[in-house]
Amino acid sequence: MNPNLLNKFRTPETPGSFFLSFEGIEGSGKTTQLKNIESFLINEKKKRVLVLREPGGTIFGEKLREAILGSTVPLHPLAECHLFLASRAQLLHEKILPFLLIPDSVVILDRYVDSTLAYQGLARGLGVETILTLHQHNPLNLLPHRTYFLDISLETSMERQKKRGQEKDYFESEKLEFYQKLIDGYRSLTSIFPDRILKIDASVTPEEVGKEILSDLKKIIA
Ligand SMILES: Nc1ncnc2c1ncn2[C@@H]1O[C@H](COP(=O)(O)OP(=O)(O)O)[C@@H](O)[C@H]1O
Ligand SMILES: [Mg+2]
């Protein structure tokens, strides 16, 4: 990876404030786990917490979420990518950046840049460098302090999605081969960002996954 490109990125610097994200394929437990750390941060660390999901999180972003996840035709990977980036830029501008200026605030994101790297960069084949290049300017160049990548197998994801029993969206109706590429893609991102992304075995019970996340979080947030 080109080090000059990685140098374009930054993390928020407000004292006591943190930017966190959750990543992983459908059913990996992102929504379950972020609720767990939200209550820890509010009750035990007395932080102001903002939880947001991608794509979406703003009125404009929710419209884009509809456009992407509700699409009945296959979109070109670059079209997909630019829709996600538009939603993300607006979310950063309207919500994330202003909130992170407040001391002792924490923003927790349910999916962020690593989703674009894994889905459009690796599974759809645009490449990691292309995606990072598109993120190099303000406000898109903001990286989380920590990203929890919840790692599960294809089989586990399918089982949990079946149990949840919702109608499949645009990405969920992809072929198994696409899902495997996504899993491999996420796993390979941990070596590009070894200090930021923490891979967690999310095939165990929610309690065990939660414990591992909390033990890491306690080291970051004193
Ligand atoms: N560690 C776990 N073990 C078993 N089931 C889980 C675990 N974590 C989450 N689930 C269940 O799997 C489904 C997907 O979890 P969810 O948190 O919605 O995942 P995501 O937000 O990553 O798609 C839910 O029905 C949830 O109750
Ligand atoms: Mg979820």
81 token code pair: 């990518």
| Angle at alpha carbon of residue 65, lines to 23 and 110, rounded to 5° | 20
Instruction: Determine how many CB atoms are found less than 10 A away from the CB of residue 56.
Output: 20
The confidence score (pLDDT) of residue 166 equals 74
Ligand 1 centroid–CA 71 distance in Å is: 25
Question: How remote is the CA of residue 110 from the centroid of ligand 2, in Å?
Answer: 7
The residue-averaged pLDDT of 116-125 equals 97
Three-state DSSP class for 78? helix
Would the pLDDT of 111 be above 80? yes
Q: What is the pLDDT of residues 47-100, one digit of tens each?
A: 999 999 998 889 999 999 899 888 999 999 999 999 999 999 999 999 999 999
Task: Find all residues with CB under 8 Å of 184, minimum gap 6, and list them.
Answer: 122
Region 19-42 average pLDDT = 97
Residue with the nearest Cα to atom 1 of ligand 1?
A: 206
pLDDT average, residue stretch 30-34: 97
Ligand 1, atom nearest to 209 Cα: 1
pTM of the model: 0.95
Residue 203 CA: nearest ligand 1 atom is 1
Contacts 24+ apart (CB under 8 A), 172-176: 172/26
CB burial readout 156-195, b (16+ within 10 A) else e: bbeeeeeeeeeeeebbeebeeeebebbbebbeebbeebee
Which residues have CB atoms below 5 A from the ion given as ligand 2? 30-31
Domain ranges of the chain: 3-220
What are the pLDDT digits (tens) for 147-190? 999 999 999 999 998 887 777 777 777 788 999 999 999 999 99
**Phi then psi for 5, rounded to 5 degrees?**
-70, -45
Look at residue 162 in the predicted model and tell me its pLDDT. Answer: 85
Fold assignment, 3-220:
Rossmann fold (3.40.50)
